Structures are given as C-alpha cells and as structure tokens.
Chain A
C-alpha cells in the first residue's frame, strides 16, 4: 500500500516543519514578552516536562516499544493480514506475451549500477484478496510459498526499498493453479502498486494448468511478468526469459534418505508413478514381461491398512515397498509425463541417485538454461518408449555411475528445498542481467569433488609463440654490481633477448650511474623496489612487454649463450611451463612421514631452480596476486624458497610438470664450492624441505609432478658435425 507509506512520510514531514518554524519564530517573541504570558510559559514547561518524562519512559522502559513493534511487524498471524476487496470490474492483465525476451520486456534500468552485481528483489507485503461478495480469491499463502519468500527475504538479493528494487515478487501465491481463481488472481496482480504490465515481476508456479486440457504454463493472465514455472513445454517456454523450475516434492522434507553411492543396483529400471495413462501402463507391463526381474513396475497399493500414508507406499502385485526408499534399489527410474509435464517424482528420483529416464516430449527440464541434463538423465522420445531398455543398456557402466553421482548432486544443489529452488531461480535471472559476472557452466554443473579434482590451465590454447617476440630477462640484484654487470654482458649475447630489466632490491644504496652500465644492444631498465623482498623478482612489471620472462640471479654467469637461447626455444614449445636448468626433486620420507627436498643427481625431476628459468609473464601476475594462503609473505619473511613457491604455483594451476633443459645440474661456479661446508648445506636442505611441507599444506595437495625426462637439442651428443648443430655449446653439468 504505497499511498499509505507516502501519507506517513508526509506526516513526519509536517511535524519536522512545524518544529523548524517554531524554532525560527522563538527569538522574535522575546521583546514582546509580558507578565500575563507567564501562564503560557508554565504550560510550556509542563508540556516540556511531560515530554521529557514520556521520552524517558519510552527510552528506558525496555522492550515496551520494540516488542510491540516486533509483534506488529514480524510476529503476526496470517489471519490478521489486511483484506483487499477486488471490484468485479477491476482490470485484468493481458495474457502472457510469448515474444517476450529480456531485452524487450524486462526493464533493465531498474537494476542500475550495482558494484556487487546482484539484483535487488522486493517482496510485496501479504494481503488477503476477496472478491466483491467477500469470497476469498485463493488460500492466502501456502507453506511452500511462505518458505520461498522467507528464503528470498533472507538472501542477499532482498531489499525492502521498493524504489531500489529490480525485481518484484508478489506475495500472491500461484504455486498451484488449482488452488486459485484465475480471473480474480489476475485482477489482484494487476492492482499491485508497481505492476506496470507485469514488468520485472516474477511469479512462481509449480503446478500449471488444470482440467481438461492442462496448459503447460500458468493460465493466470500475467502480461510481461516472468514466470518461474514447473512443467514448461517448448511451446510455452520463453527461452531466456522464463525460468523452468522443478516441482517441489514435499517428501524431501519429510523423509530422511541417506546418500547411497553409485554402482550396480538390484533393479535396472523402475517405474514408481501411480497415475499413468493406460497406454503407458501397457508399455511398462510389456517391458516387465520382456525383461523380467530387472524391471520393476510399481503401482498404487489397494489394500493398505488404515493410517499408513498411501504416498509412502508402492506395490507390485502383493509386494509392498517403501517409497521413496525403493528408488535407491534401481539404476534407472522412469519419469513419465502425466497430465502435467513437470512431475514431483523427478525430485525423489534424483535424490535416490537413480538416473531419471525422462519420457515427456517437449518438456523443458528444470533449470535447463544452466544445468546440463545430459550428464544426469536420459531423455527418451515418447514414441521410443518400447525401446527404452535397449537404449539404456547401450550406456557404459562408467557413464551410468557418473550420471548417478550427478543426479544426486543436482538434487542436493538445486532441488532439495524450496530455498534451493528459489535461490537458483534468482541466480539465473541475476546471471542474465550481469552476464560478465555470471556463474560458469562448471560452477553450475560440476559436483564439488570434480571441482576439486579438475585443473583449468589458464593457458589452455595450444600455440607456439613466435620467436620474433623474444624474452625479457629480469635480474634481481642487491649490491653485487660487478657480478651483475658480467651477467648482463653474458645474457645480452643471447639472440632472442628483447629487453633487460634489473630489479634493484637495495634501498640503502643507489644503482650505479648510467654511464657505468655495460653497453648492450637491447634496452636496459632499472627498477628500484620499495622493500628488499624476494617476491620482487616475480612482480609483473609493466616494463615486461614480452610473454617470456627469464628470471636470472645476479651471479649466474656460467650459462652459455646457446644454453639460454635453447632454453627460450624450449619455452616456446611449452609456454605454460617452467623451463629451467638444474632440476630438483621432492620425495616422500616414509620414516619422517613428510616431504623431503632432494638435490642429488637423480633420474627424476619435479622442480627447476629459478636462479635461471623461463616462464610466462602471467605467472608473475599469479605469484603476486593469486598465491594461495600466506605463502608469499612467508617466503619474504624467510628469504628463501621463492623458487619452490613458483614451482608449486605453476604446477598447481596447470597440472603439468616442469621442463628441465640441458645437462646442467648446479649453478655454483667451480671456485665457489669450497665456501659452503657440509653443515651449511644440511641446514639449507632442512629449510628447503620445510618449505615443501609448508606449501603442500597450504595448497592442500602436492601439485608437483615427477618426470624422468629433460630437453636437449635434437642432435645433442649425436655423431654429427658440431658446426652443423644449432646449439653446439650447450654447457656442462
């Protein structure tokens, strides 16, 4: 009732204005003050005093106002909702417009800019509608519709501000068309305050149509309103506008049915529906006759004792079965059309992990806009019903088990409660309005276990980047200028080097003057960092214009130009991997029951050192912004293991192993080996092992992959003239 609201707002406004006026006039009264006005003041004082007392009472008397407020707003009885009388000649909306699409009938402006990309949904307050003679139009509200509106109201979509709403949900319950009077319900819809031909209004209906012809969409004229309907057919469903929803099965809440894993079951095919057309019944009986005990056709029980709910029992001849438990005994379960296309049995079947065999031509399966029903059901044309058994038998067992899992997952995610149905419906509409933020196919369809197990490589397109692009070398340095200059000179000899970037990690010292740097043929840039952190080496600097990055330490002078050029060529063939020189391995230590870092020269490799390694620039972005958990800060704090972290990150996101190139086994120059003693080496190993264990626990898995190969030039160590080889000087161990 918006007029009432406006009225109330008006009242507030008047009082406020009066107060302001009073305040303004106050000082002007003072000069004209006279003794006979004393009464006036006394009166004023007493009013003030009373007002203060009253205020105090309101403020400090706990619960008096709030509780009454609660009572009036939240804890009301449905019997007390306001009654609205609909005049017999009040307007009726047009019939549904079959040509409606989101961009023609939906008023998208209402959804305006929204940083969270969530639509706002308003729910009309509950009214009881009666016709001219006082006869109610329908049941005020059903249990399910109340649950549905509660779910919307509790969700992020809800707003109580009608002016900010993008979608309107009437509180008029049209879940079951049989429970309402069509014309009067339409009139009730038409008088909603923001109806406007039904634009942006969403109706939920699960049981459409009525005898004798059972339309597949709600018969209530609804103009442009969106319909979330159970039992749409291709003739009534407006693709991309309406939403097909399941028919909720009340058994979902009543019965506790624990999950049963996929696998072979007692019956191959089961039919549990009771009201079937005789033609279908004959077909089913014929199936059973042909295939014997693997097919079970259940019927309504005729001779149940008093007090047993017929809904919960099914019979085959004289055998009585519990429903829905019996569904768990079958691999495939029939979902045949009745008068309506949408059947509540679908929900029970999915729940039992039984693969539904849907035989209902032209039926739009629930949420088919986003759910891939091929993965959870078998749709058989009605005229092929007699072949159903052979069709099902041609499905491989592995696929059947996959479908069983998928069926159960669909039920858990989208069928099991009214709330799940309501939220999935709103999410679908939300995805249409904010398509750039929509959930993906995988998010809708993959069960959680699949989501965890699958890897989506961010560089999935197989292509070999052009050689002409070259690579950018990034040298991380602190203060070893002499060594740095040697590295720069050496690296600049590599033909495919496109740019050299020096990351100056020392805040206390300025880099050498421009004139002192070696003169090289490619651009050389120096980036100064704000803090001495190891992660600076993996920052996606804007200066990096090539895809390929060569991370190189300022003391790696032993790599030959051929070796580096070959490394780049290998990276081009494996652009989504880390391509490095010395390889390392992780091992499971059975005694300590944890991971161990291995730098022995083994036959296997699972990591490469990033003292010199090629990789895609995109991984810099991932390292800096998407590194899971606290790994990044942990690495910076320990000043170690940034290379292991990078190996974990790349392996985890791509699911692929590293590529070790050339025989190179270590970076240490021969003259440096004497410096670090055995003990230093051992602490180093312990630290590195700790890193692996730490990262494995943060990632929740061990993403590293072990391989037994390395990449060499095609003619490496072949009996072939050295001068004809592309990379003759490939380096040593």
Chain B
C-alpha cells in the first residue's frame, strides 16, 4: 500500500512537473499575449492598415512652403556665403595681400611673408587683393599685437592667421574675418569658414622640411604597438601584450618593455595615442612625421585642414571612453589597413605639413577652392600623392588629365605626343630633326581593343596589342633666335607650327595652348634623334607618364670639398637628371613650371641656361620623388658635354662654377635636394641581344 502510494505520489509529482513544464508556459503566453520575446520574428509590427496611412506631408505641401525672402547673416556669426565677397577674386585665382608689421618684424611674421612672397598668390597691392592676410604674431612691441589694419572694413575678406596659439590678446572685434589658427576648439570653429591649422613647433622649417621617417612600406608592427603622448611633450611606449588602459597612467599592471622618450625623439610605435586636450595637438604632427598612426581620443580640437583632408585615411579618431574596444580594434587591425594608414601619414606630412610654407599655401589653397566652387580640387587630388599643392586645379579638375592618377583611375594617357622644338641663338632650322620626329607617326603602337569574352567584370583594359592606331603628333617650333625663321619649312605629314619671338629660356616651359596632347617631346634645334629612338621613348613614357623620359643624363653629387652640391655630365653608373634638350614628359609640368615655381627660381634659370634643365628636373623630382628614366641613345659622343651650354664652353668634365652655384641655389629654393638617382636604363626587350635582327622591333637603335 505504502509503496503503491509512494509510486502514485511520485507519478503525480512527475506528471505535475510535466504539466508545469509543458502547460504553464503556453498558458502564460496566452495570458500575456503582447509581451515581446526574443527571436527574429519580433520587430516593428506589420500593421494591418499600413496601406491606409497618410503620407508625412500633404500633397502639394512640399511644393508650397511659403516663400521667404533671402536672409542675411544671423546673430553675428559668419559663414562663407554670408561673410566673404568672392566677387573681388575674379580671374587669376586668389590674390593675397599681407599686412606688414608696423614695428620690428617678428620671426613668425617674416616667415609668413617669405612663404607668400614670390608665390603665385602674392600681390603687393591691397586694392587688387581678394584676400587680406593679417598675421597675429607673438613678439610685437607693447604686448598687444597687430592693431586694426587700415583696410579692415569690418573684417570682410580678411584672414586672421595665427601660426602659434594665443600669442596676444586681440584688440579688435573679428567681425567678418576668417580665422586660421592652430588646433581650434571644436566649439568655436566655424566649418567651411575658418581654417584649422596644425600646431607647429617654433622651429619648424620654412621650406622643404624634414622628410617623413617611414623608409619602407612595411606593414609589420613596430617595436611597440602603442606610444602614448605625455603631458611633458615626450612619448611613452608600451609593448604589444598589455591588457589595461595605458593612457591615463593608472593601469594596474604594466606589461612589456616601457620607456619614456625625451621630447625631441619621435615615437617608434605602430600607433600613437593622443589625448583630446588641446596642448596635446603638438604630438599629432610628431606622430604623423614618424609614420606612427595617430589615434586621437575624443579630440576637442579640429583636425588640421579637415575641410579637405580625409583624416580617416591616415588617423583614427575614436572615443576615449571605450579603451578596451579601441585596444582590441588596434590589435586586430588588418595589415592592409595599417599599411595604408602608415603610408598616408607620410604623404600628408610631406604634402601639407613639413614646412611653414606648405602650411600657409595649403591654407590659401583651401580658400581658393571655396572661391572656385565647382572647379575646385576634387577630393582625390587632395588625398593622394602628390597632393593638391602640386596638382593645380587651374590646370584641370579631371584626374585623368594629370599624369599622377592613371593607375588609380584605370586610365591611360592619350597615345599621341607633341614635339616642342626650341631654336636658340644659332638660328638654324632643325630640318633633319623635324623629319625624324614626323616619321614617328608611321610606327604601329599600342592600342585599346574591345574586351571580348570575359564579359562580367568590366574594367577598361588594354587586352591585346593588335589594331595599331596612329600616333598623331604635332610639331611646335619655338623660334627664339635673332635671325628670322626661314620662309619655307619642309613638307611634313604632321601639322607644324612656328612661333616667333624672342623668349626667355624659361619660356620653353610655358603651357602653350597649341599643345593639346598629354605628352611633350622637348627638343633643341641641335638635338639629334632617330625615329626609332623617339618611338621607343614614347612607348616607355606611356608606362611612366609622371616621370621624365630622356636620352642624355647628368648626375648630381655632394661635394665634400666644397660643402655643396655639384653635378656632372660625365657618363657614370647612375644619373639623376635627364636633359630637356631631348625628353618626353607630361604637359602638366609646363603648367607647374610656370605657375607654381617661385619667380626667383625661374629668373635664375633665365640667367644661366643650363639651369633650366636642373630646375625642370628638380620640379619633377620634387613632385614624383622618383628618378627620371633613361632610354638608349645612339650618339654617345654627345653625352660628353652639356648640350645646352652653347657659348663654347666645350666638353669639360667639370661643370662651371656658376652652374654649380645654380644647383645649390635651386636646392636652397626648394628647401631640400629632391633629386633621386637611378642605376638603370630601360631598353627594348631584345636590345643588343644575339638574336636575329628581324625579330627586333627597334632595330635602328642598335646601329653603331
């Protein structure tokens, strides 16, 4: 009996358990039907009568909002449309007038003046200026700086520039003036009106500036994962395997090797943590230069030039309140991203920050972009090498017009070139040369052919190399001799234009409207080239449209004895310049040469004609950071002397003193030595190989 009961009881208990398990929950569900549960089916309900819902606006309401008259600026705050009068800036781009200091000129003021004077922005006439620049500097007399300038006009079209923070109390109302200051706080910064500058150290280079420190494309972690900016100005590095927050100095455990660097050295770490307080902004530039990816923790200051620079490509702006997440994200960041960020830091440093001049010019270029509106620099030009200061928007706004972006855009330069023949003092018409160059058009060259089978993923591609279109060329003769040009020119199959008039030497690099092709073959009257040489060089140039492709070379060297740069025309195992008496390059370099180089450097080139070659090579090297390209040239004996030294200077191995002086003055003008040496020459694939000459495409290149 007992056992039966016990069994019954157990049965009852288990059954009631079952009941509870199986029954209660469905019952419960019934009892409270609207309770939201976890699960994918939950979400915003699908209303039965969703079809009947009214639109958020009544029909016609969107069209009919009451028309309002145009409004003026409100509450004393300014924006670009309201407070800048762009009508003064018509034509010729931005013209800037800089107020000179009343008393003794301070160092900062002098640097600002120096970087604008001689640039394309400068004007000395306040009346024709579109922008008036008022530098605020620290060490003026009497504590207060910069009294209200004469043409103040309520600050309209004024830019108040303070390179270093809070130099002195302003004695005047800003009015409608724009402010360019270092690391402005986000609360007062007016987007699209003010300009945020980097916080420069006092001893920042005026020109050129120190190069970035990344010497290789390595995606590998550095010695330390993180470096933390310290209040005192130094850096504090932490190893790769820590778990706690390193940035408030209050970590329970410190892992890995740690050391504190003195303020001067740059951090050797993959990431640089920079706290959000304003004084820490100075660390930002250090990190950028060192190729240490800046990780900004809730910055309360505006990033420099944030209007145009896409900082997400070079830095990580994150929230300091999520330390563990940020650390985890940094540790897990893919190599590809680290590599890209690192390279971008170097590009940005070098393009916009490494010198005072670059900072000032970037500021002005930003304002010019605002004025230009639709013809401003596209974002690509700002954010990829060589940067917007070297890719002038006055030339074009379409990236494929420049030599730099073809690979990125999947485009190619136009398959034609123009020959530009400079006829100097002897005034002998270069008839043979014209024939040789004009002959080039009969040569079959590269082509685009229609993609066929591969359909799906379309990329504009050159697929096979058949269907030769003709290289169209045109020849432009710059007759710059005292003698008049001959009345008759040889019959050529290509259009030939003769442009007369005595010109300065630097005028050979003027952006002539007659040149419409991407490639220019620059020639001297006494150059001697064969059609084969021209053809091959042009094909090579198409692979390297941003570089100069030439036949004759010079090499530069550091002369210990004289403590300066020198260069030589001697044949050597390496070279760093190609002579423009026979070279292919992109026509954009004419624009850059004429509009971007300081006036003083071009004047220098006019005085010493060989200098013009040096200057052009400096310019291209400064833009590309790469050496020029040499292609084979038959007439080796010509290499023995600089061909552009016509005044009987003779085949001397050593360049003359004024020439040496020229390269040093150029280096001073650029602020650094941009030339890069190369040890290779590009030859045709079968060049001088012991195979049948019939196989070879460029046979005549090999004739002795």
A126-154 residues with Cβ-Cβ distance < 8 A to B are 126, 139, 141-146, 149-150, 152-154
Shortest distance between the CB of A697 and any CB in chain B (Å): 7
Q: Taking the complex as formed, is B614 at the interface, i.e. its CB lies under 8 A from any CB of chain A?
A: no
Q: Taking the complex as formed, is A45 at the interface, i.e. its CB lies under 8 A from any CB of chain B?
A: yes
Q: Taking the complex as formed, is B43 at the interface, i.e. its CB lies under 8 A from any CB of chain A?
A: yes
CA distance A438 to B45 in the complex (A): 31
Question: In the complex the two chains form, is A449's CB within 8 Å of B312's CB?
Answer: no
User: Cβ of A402: which chain B residues have Cβ within 8 Å of it?
Assistant: 398
Question: In the complex the two chains form, is A279's CB within 8 Å of B69's CB?
Answer: yes
Chain B: CB-nearest residue to A431: B312
Asked whether A593 and B374 contact (CB < 8 A) given A15-B24, A145-B56, A435-B312, the answer is no
Shortest distance between the CB of B686 and any CB in chain A (Å): 6
Chain B: CB-nearest residue to A59: B22
Stretch from A191-199, A667-675, A701-709 that touches the partner = A701-709
Chain B interface: which size bin?
35 or more
CA distance A587 to B322 in the complex (A): 55
User: Cβ of A234: which chain B residues have Cβ within 8 Å of it?
Assistant: 79, 190-192
CA distance A5 to B62 in the complex (A): 41
CA distance A598 to B276 in the complex (A): 60
Question: In the complex the two chains form, is B53's CB within 8 Å of A311's CB?
Answer: no
Question: In the complex the two chains form, is B81's CB within 8 Å of A382's CB?
Answer: yes
Question: In the complex the two chains form, is A142's CB within 8 Å of B322's CB?
Answer: no
Q: Taking the complex as formed, is B148 at the interface, i.e. its CB lies under 8 A from any CB of chain A?
A: no
Interface size on A, residues (CB 8 A): 202
Question: In the complex the two chains form, is B318's CB within 8 Å of A55's CB?
Answer: no
CA distance A29 to B5 in the complex (A): 11
Q: Taking the complex as formed, is B118 at the interface, i.e. its CB lies under 8 A from any CB of chain A?
A: no
Q: Taking the complex as formed, is A384 at the interface, i.e. its CB lies under 8 A from any CB of chain B?
A: yes
Asked whether A51 and B680 contact (CB < 8 A) given A249-B62, A603-B685, the answer is no
Question: In the complex the two chains form, is B680's CB within 8 Å of A206's CB?
Answer: no
Chain B: CB-nearest residue to A660: B685
Stretch from B10-18, B234-242, B281-289, B587-595 that touches the partner = B10-18
Shortest distance between the CB of A165 and any CB in chain B (Å): 13
Question: In the complex the two chains form, is A5's CB within 8 Å of B35's CB?
Answer: yes
Shortest distance between the CB of A404 and any CB in chain B (Å): 13
Question: In the complex the two chains form, is A603's CB within 8 Å of B47's CB?
Answer: no
Question: In the complex the two chains form, is A713's CB within 8 Å of B679's CB?
Answer: yes
Shortest distance between the CB of B294 and any CB in chain A (Å): 12
Stretch from B356-364, B462-470, B503-511 that touches the partner = B462-470
User: Cβ of A702: which chain B residues have Cβ within 8 Å of it?
Assistant: 454, 461, 463
Query: Which secondary structure dominates chain B's binding surface?
Result: loop
Q: Taking the complex as formed, is A569 at the interface, i.e. its CB lies under 8 A from any CB of chain B?
A: yes
Q: Taking the complex as formed, is B439 at the interface, i.e. its CB lies under 8 A from any CB of chain A?
A: no
Q: Taking the complex as formed, is A91 at the interface, i.e. its CB lies under 8 A from any CB of chain B?
A: no
Q: Taking the complex as formed, is A8 at the interface, i.e. its CB lies under 8 A from any CB of chain B?
A: yes
Chain B: CB-nearest residue to A33: B5
Shortest distance between the CB of A610 and any CB in chain B (Å): 18
Chain A: CB-nearest residue to B84: A381
B387-436 residues with Cβ-Cβ distance < 8 A to A are 396-398, 407-410
Question: In the complex the two chains form, is A663's CB within 8 Å of B689's CB?
Answer: yes
Taking a contact as CB atoms closer than 8 A, the residue among A68, A69, A142, A707 that contacts B54 in the complex is: A142
Question: In the complex the two chains form, is A150's CB within 8 Å of B44's CB?
Answer: yes
Question: In the complex the two chains form, is A697's CB within 8 Å of B330's CB?
Answer: no
Question: In the complex the two chains form, is A374's CB within 8 Å of B681's CB?
Answer: no
Chain A: CB-nearest residue to B411: A453
CA distance A697 to B12 in the complex (A): 70
CA distance A178 to B74 in the complex (A): 24
Stretch from A334-342, A477-485, A486-494 that touches the partner = A334-342
CA distance A570 to B20 in the complex (A): 80
Taking a contact as CB atoms closer than 8 A, the residue among A374, A469, A587 that contacts B376 in the complex is: A374
Q: Taking the complex as formed, is B319 at the interface, i.e. its CB lies under 8 A from any CB of chain A?
A: yes
CA distance A136 to B410 in the complex (A): 59
Question: In the complex the two chains form, is A175's CB within 8 Å of B676's CB?
Answer: no
User: Cβ of B319: which chain A residues have Cβ within 8 Å of it?
Assistant: 102-103, 108, 433
Question: In the complex the two chains form, is B43's CB within 8 Å of A463's CB?
Answer: no
Asked whether A441 and B398 contact (CB < 8 A) given A103-B320, A457-B407, A701-B457, the answer is no
Taking a contact as CB atoms closer than 8 A, the residue among B16, B321, B461, B697 that contacts A51 in the complex is: B16
Question: In the complex the two chains form, is B683's CB within 8 Å of A48's CB?
Answer: no
Q: Taking the complex as formed, is A375 at the interface, i.e. its CB lies under 8 A from any CB of chain B?
A: yes
Question: In the complex the two chains form, is A374's CB within 8 Å of B379's CB?
Answer: yes
Shortest distance between the CB of A562 and any CB in chain B (Å): 12
A596-622 residues with Cβ-Cβ distance < 8 A to B are 601-605, 616, 618, 621
User: Cβ of B214: which chain A residues have Cβ within 8 Å of it?
Assistant: 461, 463
Q: Taking the complex as formed, is A211 at the interface, i.e. its CB lies under 8 A from any CB of chain B?
A: yes
Taking a contact as CB atoms closer than 8 A, the residue among A146, A437, A465 that contacts B53 in the complex is: A146
Question: In the complex the two chains form, is A378's CB within 8 Å of B42's CB?
Answer: no
B19-70 residues with Cβ-Cβ distance < 8 A to A are 19-20, 22-24, 26-30, 32-36, 38, 41-50, 53-57, 59-70
Stretch from B334-342, B487-495, B523-531, B659-667 that touches the partner = B334-342
Asked whether A395 and B683 contact (CB < 8 A) given A51-B16, A143-B53, A279-B70, the answer is no
Q: Give 28 pairs: A residue, B residue, CB < 8 Å, sorted on A.
A: A15-B28, A44-B12, A74-B45, A76-B45, A176-B61, A207-B57, A211-B66, A274-B64, A340-B65, A372-B379, A384-B86, A391-B374, A441-B379, A461-B344, A573-B680, A576-B217, A583-B685, A588-B452, A588-B463, A618-B219, A699-B457, A700-B457, A700-B459, A701-B457, A706-B465, A708-B540, A710-B683, A713-B679
Q: Which 5 A-B pairs have the closest CB atoms?
A: A700-B457, A51-B19, A153-B44, A153-B43, A103-B298
